[in-house]
Structure 1
């Protein structure tokens, strides 16, 4: 199942497994890094950083206008532009899992409390 190329947004999920005493520091570092991404990489839509209740995981969610925009930003990570690998070492991440996804359906509540569904047109592969 694929959506038309022009309507696809692109999401990167990065999950960190860490020791609980590292969680708050990692969240702070990711917040700063995400702000730099938003300022310096075109195509940035939104991001969130989520922390597990047990303190052992952090999930970084980044959404881009296109796959190309997300991949360009990630290439900046790999080249040291955002010092991503140093961030992983500094917070002693046991594992880091990367996932890339195309957004095909979203639901959100607006300021007037209405629900808005964005269903991207689907085509069978």
Structure 2
């Protein structure tokens, strides 16, 4: 099955990974952080601000792959500080208010200054 790399200027990018890879009906997004795509700066210091921006970035990438958050099957979340869990959930429920996708949350293994969260998703599109 061939794979297609999906990119958008409306989300942060790196030469080290693809924002999104589509294989068949699956879209697999890399770990996306709460960085503003046009400034290259983190959206703020709070877990809520960075989670909001990370999901906004995920949404932009999904749209580039002709999908949206309703198509998300799984969300993987990496937190730099486990005590941010409640703040993460506060923002998360705004993006998935009903029938949320499968999810896991774990601790991010690398230390990047100021970074609080990284979010990856898998979506299914027909």
TM-score (norm 2): 0.30
Larger CA Rg, structure 1 vs 2: 1
Greater share of strand:
1
Task: Tell which has more relative contact order, 1 or 2 (C-alpha 8 A, sep 6+).
Answer: 1
Greater share of helix:
1
